[in-house]
Chains A and B, each alone.
Chain A
Amino acid sequence: MEIETVPSESKPESNPLPPKPKFEPLKAHEMSDGRVQFRKVSVPPHRYSPLKKYWMDIYTPVYEQMKIDIRMNLKARKVELKTRQDTPDISNLQKCADFVQAFMLGFDVPDAIALLRLDELYVESFEIKDVKTLRGEHLSRAIGRLSGKGGKTKFAIENSTKTRIVIADTKIHLLGSFANIKIARDSLCSLILGSPAGKVYSKLRQVSARLAERF
């Protein structure tokens, strides 16, 4: 097929079009018209002392690898994060904020650091009352069922689904990839609803085997 070139009659000017401008991606610093971006994460009272203990473990990767300024506002009891000029990516700030938030929820630092390293990890939280309305003794029993003796049920779920679980009274927090979180959530829900741990184990085994087979 032959393409006929149609002379452009729309433009009377014979000047060629200016070249397309090439823009460099914006730096974090330049975003929002060169203003600095902040994040503030509040510290619950029960995480106060662990924060003090692990402060250096938190500070080092955030400041050095993510290139985000971090500080603790003692008066306000908040951890504040701020972008620097040489912050490579705007998402770093959010990642660091998530990381700190995860620590505040109750996750350990090595677990929370995965948030910094991997993109696809999420934190999901839900309450026991979302699943089933339990009161008094039943609630206590449900919490006991979730964690198991010495936490073994919780660890079993963590190990088989590659997630991390934090059971804080009636609140449950999960950290992991989307599919793994789903599996862990299902097993936790079944535990809350009353199924015995053995049943949950067998299901976990099946599911984890299937997950491993996929690749």
Chain B
Amino acid sequence: MIPSAMANSTETAVESLHHIKSTEPPEWLVPKQELSQAVRAASKLLFSSLKPHCPKSTFDQLLTEGFDAEQIWQQIDLQSQPLLSSLRREVKKFEKHPEEISKFKDGGVGGGEKKKVLEQIETDNVVNDDDDEDDDDMDMDEDEDDEEEEDEEGEEEEKERGTEEESENEGAEKGGIEDKFLKIKELREYLEEDEAREFGLKKKKTKAESKKEEEDTEEEGDDDEDENEGSVDDDDEAQEEEDGLGLFDGNDEEDEDDLENARYEDFFSRKKNKSSKEKAKSRDMLEEDSGSDDEQDVDKRKNGPSKHEKELDKLRSKIEEMEKANLDPKVWTMRGEVTAAQRQKNSALEVDLDFEHNVRPAPVITEEVTASLEDLIKTRISEGMFDDVQKARTSSSKAPREIKELDESKSKKGLAEVYEEEFVQKTDPASAPLTFSDELKKEASMLFKKLCLKLDALSHFHFTPKPVVEDMSIQTNVPALAMEEVAPMAVSDATMLAPEEVFSGKGDIKEEAELTKAERKRRRANKKRKFKAEAAKRMGKKARQMTTVGNNDEGREG
């Protein structure tokens, strides 16, 4: 780059800047070549002037000839983005360590000048952005939006810068006054302590109160402290939310106190159980509270328990109840299998016990049910359809078998006679001697006849007894079938099949070898006849089918 050219360009650029500054806002609405040229020159100058401040810049100078507004804007953006972030970092650094600002300040007036220039440049940058957007042939709405955004951004940046400036200024100021600086430190410490105490207390200050306190401390309205307080406020609120549950009430204060001084005895000594939440702890805490923060408590109690405090009380009492319930032995209903000895007398009567009933419940007898039953009975009676069990009569086809009684006396007949009788009965049933029951029957009938005779004689005047002709007819209790047939000497077992099932008489009885010539001829003739008959049948079927199909076959057959 040529310095003379640079010097000329700078002059023209500064001139153009002034020109831009002087133009009225409405003039920007209409695109003018003159204005755009001026703007381009000015932005070029600014770009090059800013270049040394940003460490990583891709362009040495802003390229405007033949470039689109968008492209120019991109170049500016590329440069400004890292620059802005670095600036922000610087500001934060100054925030934390205001003494450095004094160094910076002391560094030289040039530094101050530089700063001023920086401010100007940054404001101009904002304005340039607006111009670039105007030059583009974009929609008015978009422009407005962009402008608004840019304006906001600009405002934010200005605000930040403003605050930064303020902080820088004030830091510079403070850096000068030692007393105030020390006081600031003390103030911060005090604030921290106060915060800690605030968190530990159960009776929380209201936001207004806390804010008041903060405001009191904030005499000088330091931004740093504002920001600190802001963050503290946030923390406070968060803490309050947590404490709203009431769980961390006791812990916080003690934690604050004891985290720093945590010792072995605190965790593993019986005197103070820090890990468990018990009533004793709460009592301790209460005592501590009362002990340490009397002044603050007095201040708070004056106002009465707040809503929040009431809620917390309720919750605490609930917790105590639940803990107590857990420690006590359970009620017998919750104890699983309980026998009568393990519960109070008649305690099961009070409890509504639930059983599984496996039986169907008895039907409820209503008038309708009885009416329906009675109707059913009436219809059955009228129809005569009773569901009586009919006795199944066994058809007595066989003669009643004689039940042989076990004779327990010594048999009078010898064994030979016994077998003899058996043999005779087998072969010739008719001539078998009478059985014992038959003899008994005979005797009984004789007796009865005698009795009847006597009674008849007594009852009838003109009674003449008939001549009793006793013919010795031996009647044996033998099945009629046995009487009829002549029993064969050798009894063979009957086959399971009936004779007709064994052989029905049809078919070829004689073997091929046994047949005579004539018989063989007859057989063959029979076969042939059968075959012919079947063949004729088949032909008849086919003929019937053929007729349905067509006439050709008929013609052929014909």
Contact = CB atoms under 8 A, between A and B. Distances in A.
B414 A110 contact: yes
A110 B416 contact: yes
B408 A152 contact: yes
A160 interface: yes
A29 B376 CA distance: 97
B415 interface: yes
A111 B416 contact: yes
Nearest to B417: A110
Interface in A141-189: 148, 151-153, 155-156, 158-160, 162-164, 175-177
Nearest to B414: A110
A64 B385 CA distance: 81
Contact of B406 (A118, A121, A176, A204): A204
Given A158-B411, A159-B411, A215-B426, A114 B406 contact: no
Nearest to B405: A205
Contact of B404 (A114, A151, A177, A205): A205
Contacts of B409: 152, 155
Interface in B479-533: 491
B408 A114 contact: no
Contact of A159 (B401, B407, B419, B425): B407
Contacts of B413: 110
Contacts of B417: 110
B422 interface: yes
The range of chain A's interface size is 20 to 34
A162 B415 contact: yes
Tell me the interface secondary structure of chain B in the complex.
loop
B414 A162 contact: no
B474 interface: no
B410 interface: yes
B286 interface: no
A114 B411 contact: no
A131 to B, nearest CB: 23
A212 interface: yes
Interface string B433-473: 00000000000000000000000000000000000000000
Interface string A48-90: 0000000000000000000000000000000000000000000
B419 A162 contact: yes
A117 interface: yes
B416 A160 contact: no
Contacts of B426: 215
B418 interface: yes
B410 A111 contact: no
Nearest to A158: B411
A204 B406 CA distance: 9
B406 A205 contact: yes
Given A162-B422, A215-B426, A155 B416 contact: no
A177 B426 CA distance: 16
Nearest to A176: B415
A114 B407 contact: no
Contacts of A164: 415
Contact of A156 (B401, B406, B422, B491): B406
B404 A208 contact: yes
A110 B420 CA distance: 12
Contacts of A176: 415
Residue from A148, A175, A212 having most chain B Cβ neighbours under 10 A: A212
Contacts of A118: 416, 419
Contacts of B401: 209
Contacts of B415: 110-111, 114, 121, 162-164, 175-176
Nearest to A157: B406
Most buried by A among B401, B406, B414: B406
Contacts of A30: none
A165 B411 CA distance: 12
B420 to A, nearest CB: 8
A201 interface: yes
B410 A114 contact: no
B422 A114 contact: no
A163 B406 CA distance: 14
Contacts of A159: 406-408, 411
Contacts of B414: 108, 110-111, 113-114
A111 B420 CA distance: 12
Given A159-B411, A215-B426, A201 B406 contact: yes
A63 B326 CA distance: 116
Contacts of A117: 416, 419-420
Nearest to B404: A208
Interface in B307-341: none
Contacts of B406: 156, 159-160, 201, 204-205
B426 to A, nearest CB: 6
A153 B410 CA distance: 10
Contacts of B419: 114, 117-118, 121, 162, 177
B410 to A, nearest CB: 5
Given A151-B410, A155-B409, A162 B418 contact: yes
A204 B405 CA distance: 11
A118 B425 CA distance: 16
- Identify the interface centre among B413, B415, B418: most chain A CB within 10 Å of its CB: B415
Give the most central of B407, B408, B491: most A CB within 10 Å: B408
A125 B410 CA distance: 21
Nearest to A148: B408
Nearest to B410: A155
A209 B413 CA distance: 20
Contacts of B416: 110-111, 113-114, 117-118
User: Among the interface residues A110, A153, A208, which one has the most CB atoms of the partner chain B within 10 A?
Assistant: A110
Interface in B372-427: 401, 404, 406-411, 413-420, 422, 425-426
Nearest to A197: B408
B486 to A, nearest CB: 15
A33 to B, nearest CB: 35
B88 to A, nearest CB: 117
A156 B407 contact: yes
* The 7 residue pairs across chains A and B that have the minimum distance between CB atoms: A110-B414, A114-B416, A152-B408, A111-B415, A114-B415, A159-B407, A156-B406
Interface of A: 108, 110-111, 113-114, 117-118, 121, 148, 151-153, 155-156, 158-160, 162-164, 175-177, 201, 204-205, 208-209, 212, 215
Given A151-B410, A158-B410, 9 more contacts: A111-B414, A114-B418, A117-B416, A152-B409, A153-B408, A155-B410, A159-B406, A208-B404, A209-B404
11 contacts: A111-B414, A114-B415, A114-B416, A155-B411, A158-B410, A158-B411, A204-B406, A205-B404, A209-B404, A212-B404, A215-B491
